[in-house]
Structure 1
Amino acid sequence: MELRAARVRYGPLEALHGLTLAAPAGTVTVLLGRNGSGRTTVLRALAGTVALSGGTVTWDGVDVTRRTAHARAAAGLCFVPDRQAVFASLGVAENLELASPDGDFTTALDAYPELRPLLGRRAGTLSGGEQRMLAVSRALLSRARVVLVDEPAQGMSPPVAHRTYALLGGLDACVVLAEQRLPPGLRTGGAGGAAVLVYELGRGTVVFAGEATERATPCGTAERATTYRSSE
């Protein structure tokens, strides 16, 4: 998926200022930035939950800017927001059943065996980390072509977080993650065998674009960002 010269406004405030980026298939694309940098807005723009005030969204070269979030989901897009990512009033098993096309959620329990003893509980009673496991499990079950996840490992222990990035990187999909910092498991440029592409955002613009390994030093970041801006 791609954003081309994308602009998003929230009332009088513009959150994205003509931003352009591409998330290739078979790659983990990581959007980095502090709160207010625009990374969550990029995910929402790709998912169709926020409208562009300028620019376009393309998917496999087709302009989908005017397609609704429902239409994009029906076409194979799965969006996991940072909050309210599960059906709190339903049980854990019911959440998983809804996400699985055939009702079989064995693969989710294999990925997160921690959920097995929680199947009978309501999702809203789980801890933050447990809810994130459930939310990511639902994304794994969806068999989506595009998976967008806002802070996938929020509240998880380091071992479970590492497993989560490996699971997402192992998907046969275009995976886009929003993070405040580049997670340790992605710094070496691999996640479940997938290449890792990084876009660092600042106040609604791209300040760095390149592979995860290129972002190792501040000097390299500045040089790469300059190259990226000049290439546009």
Structure 2
Amino acid sequence: MTTLSLRHARVRYGPLEALHGVTLTAPGPGLTVLLGRNGSGRTTVLRALAGTVALSAGTVEWDGVDVTRLPARERARRGLRLVPERRAVFPSLTVRENLTLATAGPRPALDAYPELGPLLARRAGTLSGGEQRMLALARVLASHARVVLVDEPAQGMAPPVADRTYALLGALDACVVVAGERLPPPAPRGRTVFVHELRRGALVFSGEAGERRPR
């Protein structure tokens, strides 16, 4: 099992505080959703967990160990993968080259996203938004990561591909945290989806997806 947590976390961007003492836990293996509109703080939570933004107060804990001062590169070396909303691929490299950097070859990625097959020779920067998301996620799915953090995983995807993406993420043997404005499709039987809903940098709900009442 792998668990990632924030404890009383505060993050500031200059004079503005983006997180106001947020405490939450993402258990793994399993899927945790950071729910909220733009400006809610959901992306900042992902960045704080990944170590790409510093806390002004509070802690980040990985399996109960304080990793607040652990650099992002060291968290990545230990098995954490972050897929940001933008700039998640190497635009000047081909699709095949992007996949080869992350895995031994494109085969595992094509099993997850056969749509990438005809695009292997294309430069990643020429792909549509949805195709770039598939490429970025395919690299992570094949990486055997312990922790996977994804901002807007289904952005730009057709509904069937988006549903497949959430199913793939939910089936990983990892602690998976995704951020978005909407809940994903229902999890397969035997899998629990946890939700932390944020509003203006504060937590307004924590619990299982089935416990949350629509707002």
Query: TM-score under structure 2 normalisation?
Result: 0.96
Structure 1 residues 161 and 198: CA distance shift in structure 2, 3 A: same
Residue 120 of structure 1 aligns with which residue? 121
After superposition, give the CA deviation of every residue in 1:91-118 in whole Å (9 maximum; x if it has no partner): 1011111111xx1331110110000010
Correspondence for 1:209 among 196, 203, 206? 206
Instruction: State the match for 2:10 in structure 1.
Output: 7
Report SS of the residue matched to 1:165. helix
Indicate the residue corresponding to 1:229 in structure 2.
Answer: none
Please say if 1:57 is aligned against 2:54: no
- For residues 87 and 181 of structure 1, the distance between their equivalents in structure 2, rounded to whole angstroms, comes to 28
Cα 1:33–1:191 change in 2 (3 A) is farther
Matching residue's letter, 1:48: G
Q: Which runs of 5+ in 2 are unaligned?
A: none
Cα-to-partner distance string for 1:15-48 (whole Å, 9 max, x where unaligned):
0011000000112000011111000000000000
- The SS at the match of 1:120 is coil
Report the residue type matching 1:125 in the other structure: T
Question: C-alpha distance in 1, partners of 2:146/2:171?
Answer: 13
Contact 1:32 1:181 in 2 (8 A): yes
SS at match of 1:55: strand
**Quick one: which amino acid aligns to residue 148 of structure 1?**
L
Aligned to 1:76: 79
- 1:193 to partner: Cα distance: 5.2
Residue number in structure 2 paired with 1:136:
137
Q: Tell me, which stretches of 5 or more residues in structure 1 are unaligned? A: 219-232
Q: Which has the higher helix share?
A: 1
- Measure, in 1, the Cα distance between the counterparts of 2:53 and 2:119: 34
Which residues in structure 2 correspond to 1:217-228 (within 5 Å)? 217-218=214-215
1:23 pairs, out of 19, 26, 29, with 26
**CA-to-partner distance for each residue in 1:47-68, whole Å, 9 max, x for gaps?**
0000000000000111110011
Q: Cα RMSD (Å) of the superposition?
A: 1.1
Task: Give matches, 1:70-219, under 5 Å.
Answer: 70-100=73-103, 103-183=104-184, 185=185, 188=186, 190-191=187-188, 194-218=191-215
8 Å Cα contact 1:170-1:193 kept in structure 2: no
> Structure 1 stretches (4+) deviating beyond 2 angstroms?
191-194
Q: Give the total of aligned pairs.
A: 212
Q: CA offsets, 1:137-189, max 9 Å, x none?
A: 01101110000000000000000000000000010000000011113x1xx3x
Which residue identity does 2:152 align to in structure 1?
E
| Letter aligned with residue 196 of structure 1 | V
Contact kept? 1:144, 1:173, Cα under 8 Å: yes
Q: Which whole-Å CA distance do the structure 2 matches of 1:95 and 1:151 have between them?
A: 20
Q: Secondary structure at the match of 1:149?
A: strand
Could you list the per-position Cα deviations for residues 57-97 of structure 1 after superposition, in whole angstroms to 9, with x for gaps in the alignment?
00011111001110000000000000000000111011111
